[in-house]
Amino acid sequence: MSAQEAIPVYTNLKDLYASLGTSLDHAERWSTLAEEFEKRFGQKPQYITRAPGRVNLIGEHIDYALFGVLPAAIERDILIACAPTVSPADKGHPAPGNVTAENLQPKYTRQVFAPAPKAKASEIDEAVHVEGWHLDIPQQLRWENYVKAGYYGVLEKYFTGSKVLPVPVDLLVTGSVPAGSGLSSSAAMVVASTLAFLAINGKLEGSADKITKGELVKMSMENEKRVGVNSGGMDQAASVMSVPSSVLYITFYPSLTASPTPLPGGAVLVCAHSLKVSDKALTAKKGYNLRVVETLVGARVLARALGIAVGAREKITFREVVGRLMSEADVGPGGTGMDAAALMGVLHKMAEAVEQLKPPGSIDPEFGATLEEMTAMSGLPADEFHEVYLSWVEVDATHFKLYKRAKHVYSEALRVLQFRKLCLDTAEAGAAGSSLAALQELGRLMNESQTSCANDFECSCEELDQLTQLARDAGAYGSRLTGAGWGGCTVSLVPESDVEAFIKKVSETYPPYKGLEGEALSEVIFATRPSTGACVYKFE
Ligand code: NG1
Ligand code: MG
C-alpha cells in the first residue's frame, strides 16, 4: 500500500460496489443521495465522494507522539454529492468559490458561504491574481465547519497566487458515522469534503498536480486542525488508506506508511457507544489538546534526562526520542521504519526511563508538575517555553502529568507492536496455528490498553469503564475505548459465533441501553468488518 497511489475514481457502479465489498443497502444510499441532490439543486451531481469512519483497535493517543497505530476503516461513512452551481439566467453568477451546502439530516440546516479573496495583486489579461483566501470558521460547533475545513486546504494549495478562481459548488451531505462517538465522523467529513472540492476543481484526475493518497492524508490533517483539534494523522490515514478485511498498521515516522495486517479468523469487531457524547471541539482545552502539550513537553524533558540534544525550538516527540537512542543499524529496510524487534527492545527499556519524568521532590506523580516546575524541567527560559509549547494551542490546567502520560505512550506503543506481531505470526502459521490462543492474547492487550488509558492517560470515563467491563463479562476476548475517549465508543473483539448473544447480553446489562430495540439499538451497538478507504464516483 503506497502513499503515492491516486484516489480511486469509479465511473461504473458495479466496480464501485465491488470495491466497497458490500450489498445493496449501500447502493440505495448512493442513489437516494443522487436523486435528492437533483431535487434540491435542479441538476444531477457530478461526483459523490465517500470517506469512511474508523475504529482504532489499539494504539490510543500515540499518533501525535508519532508512534504506529492499528485502526481499520468501518463500513459506516460520509457521502457528499456535488456539482458546480448552475444559476438560473436571471440570478447572475454566484461569487467565485461560493458554496451552497445541504445535509440530508434536517437538523443540519442549509448553509451558504464564500471565501473572500485576499489582496487582488494585479489584473493581467483580464485574469485576477488572488494572493490567498479567507474563510471564516467560527470556534463553535457547526456542521458546516467540517465542510469549510476541507475547502480551506484546497483553496490554499491550488488557488493561492492562481489566475483561476475556484468553481461555485452545490453539495449535499449524508452520513452514517455517529457524531462525537470516537469513530471519527469528523475525519470522514473532512476527507469527504476535501475530496469534493478537489474533484469539482479538477484536481483528482488527469491534471499534473493531481493529489496522492499520502497528500490527501496530510491535507486532511491540516484541515482538521482548523476546526481546533491538534490531531495526529491516524483517522485521516485510516479513512483514506484502508483496505477491506484488514486492520491497517499506520506509521508516521520517519514517514507515513500503511501496511494491511490480517486479523486472525474467528472474531469480529463490535463497536458500542457509551452514549456519553464527547466533543473534542468543546473539551480540547482540558482534554485532547492538553494531552498533546503534556506529551510534547514530556518528550523534551525525557530527551534531556537521557542526554539527547534537542534544538531550542524543536518539538521533539516520544517516538523521535527512541529513534535517536537507536543506532542506524536498527533502521528497517528502505528506511521505512525501525526494525520492529529492535524497537520493541527499546520500548521495554523505556518503562524505566520514564521514571525521570516524575516531578522533582514530589512523592506523588498523581499530582503532576505546575507550569513553573514543568518549565524548569524543560530547561527552557519561560518565554521560550511558552512560545514553543503553549502559544499555538489553548489549554486549561494547573498541573501537567508528564510521567503518567509517558508511561501510557511507551507501553501502548509496545502493545501495538505486540498486537501486530501476533496477527502476522498467526497468519504465517496458517492452519497449524491456534487462532483461539492468539485472539485471547489480542484481547488481553486490548484490556491492558484500556487500563492504561484509564489510569495513566486519564482519557476514559465511568461509562467507558463500565461498558468495557460488561463487554468482557459478556464474552469478549478484550474490550477498550476507541478514539479520543472521555465518552464515545468502545471496541470489543468478540467470537464470531457469539456476536448476537454478545450484543443481546450487553444491551441487557448496560443501563443506558435500557428500552432500546431494533434500529435504535443497532445504531449504538453493531458489529463491523474492516472496510475500504475513501473513493470517488464520477457520473458520466
Ligand atoms: P477521534 O476522537 O476518534 O477523532 C482522536 C484523534 C486521533 C487520535 C485519537 C486518540 C482527531 C481528528 N483524531 O480521535 O488522531 O489521536 O483521538 O488515539 O482529533
Ligand atoms: Mg474526531
**Least confident residue range of 6-15, 65-74, 90-99, 146-155:** 90-99
Ligand 1, CB cutoff 6 Å, lining residues: 56, 60-61, 63-64, 182, 184, 186-187, 224, 229, 231-232, 234-235, 280, 483-484
Judge contact between 218 and 228, C-beta under 8 A: no
Q: Is the pLDDT of residue 453 over 90?
A: yes
Residue nearest to atom 8 of ligand 1 (CA): 61
Ligand nearest 278 Cα, by number? 1
**Is it the case that residue 123 has pLDDT exceeding 60?**
no
Supply the residue whose CA is at minimum distance from atom 13 of ligand 1.
231
Summary mean pLDDT of the chain: 89
For the CA of 480, the nearest ligand: 1
- The pTM score is 0.90
Q: Is 338 helix (H, G, I), strand (E, B) or coil?
A: strand
Region 459-464 average pLDDT = 97
Determine the residue of 66, 181, 234 to mutate for testing ligand 1's pocket, defined as the one with the most ligand atoms within 8 A of the Cβ atom: 234
Query: Under 8 Å CB-to-CB from 51, ≥6 apart: which residues?
Result: 77, 78, 187, 188, 189, 190, 191, 192, 195, 239, 240, 534
Minimum CA distance residue for ligand 1 atom 15: 232
Does pLDDT of 78 surpass 50?
yes
Q: What is the pLDDT of residues 1-56, one digit of tens each?
A: 678 889 999 998 888 988 887 655 667 889 999 999 999 999 999 999 999 999 99
Percent of the chain with pLDDT over 70: 92
Nearest-angstrom CA–CA distance, 232 and 409: 13
Give 413's pLDDT tier (boundaries 50, 70, 90). Answer: very high
Average pLDDT over residues 208-233: 84
Q: Output Rg (C-alpha) for the chain, integer angstroms.
A: 24
Residue 278 has a pLDDT of 78
What is residue 120's predicted lDDT score, i.e. its pLDDT? 60
- Least confident piece of the model among 49-58, 155-164, 237-246: 155-164
- Pairwise pLDDT comparison (473 vs 125), residue with the higher score: 473
Give the separation between CA 98 and CA 166, rounded to whole angstroms.
Answer: 8
Compute the distance from residue 74 Cα to the ligand 2 centre, in Å: 14
Residue 278 CA: nearest ligand 1 atom is: 2
Backbone angles phi, psi at 416, to 5 degrees: -60, -45
Could you please report the per-residue DSSP string of 498-522?
Answer: GHHHHHHHHHHHSGGGTT--HHHHH
Q: Where are the alpha helices (DSSP H) in 358-478?
A: 371-378, 382-385, 402-429, 435-452, 462-473
Ligand in closest contact with the CA of 183 = 1
Give residue 265 CA to ligand 2 midpoint distance, Å. 29
Segments of 266-409 assigned E as strands = 267-273, 369-370, 399-400
Grid cell for residue 291: 494531552
Q: How much is the pLDDT for 333?
A: 46
Q: Which residues surround ligand 2, an ion (CB under 5 A)?
A: 184, 186
Query: H/E element holding 61?
Result: none
Residue-wise pLDDT tens digits, 336-354 = 456 888 899 999 999 999 9
* Residue 532 scores a pLDDT above 50: yes
Q: How far, in Å, is the centroid of ligand 1 from the Cα of 230? A: 9
Nearest atom within ligand 1 for CA of residue 69: 18
Please give the pLDDT value at position 314. 94
User: Of all protein residues, whose CA lies closest to atom 16 belonging to ligand 1?
Assistant: 61
For residue 444, pLDDT over 50 is answered with: yes
Tallying the residues shown for the chain, one arrives at: 540
> Of all atoms in ligand 1, which is nearest to the CA of residue 233?
15
pLDDT band at 87 (very low <50, low <70, confident <90, very high): confident
Q: Mean pLDDT, to the nearest integer, of 422-436?
A: 87
pLDDT in tens, 312-338: 899 999 999 998 887 645 555 444 456
Mean pLDDT of 515-532: 91
| pLDDT tens digits, one per residue of 243-294 | 988 999 999 888 888 999 999 999 999 999 999 987 766 778 899 999 999 9
Judge contact between 190 and 225, C-beta under 8 A.
no
**From the alpha carbon of 231, which atom of ligand 1 is closest?**
19
| pLDDT tens figures, 369-406 | 999 999 999 999 999 999 999 998 889 999 999 999 99
CA dihedral sign of residues 184, 186, 191, 196:
positive
Which-ligand-closest: CA of 179? 2
State the burial class of residue 281 (Cβ atoms within 10 Å of its Cβ: 0-12, 13-18, 19+): middle
The protein residue with its alpha carbon nearest to ligand 1, atom 4, reads: 184
Higher-confidence residue: 494 or 128?
A: 494
Q: Which residues are catalytic?
A: 235
Q: Which atom of ligand 1 is nearest to the CA of 59?
A: 18
Cα of 182 vs centre of ligand 1, distance in Å, is 7
Question: Cα(66) to centroid of ligand 1, in Å?
Answer: 13
Phi, psi at 163, each rounded to 5°: -85, -20
**Alpha carbon distance 393, 19 (integer Å):** 40
Q: Tell whether the model's pLDDT for residue 454 goes beyond 70.
A: yes
Find the 215 Cα to ligand 2 centroid distance in Å.
Answer: 19
Does the pLDDT value for residue 127 go beyond 90? no
Predicted pLDDT at 283: 77
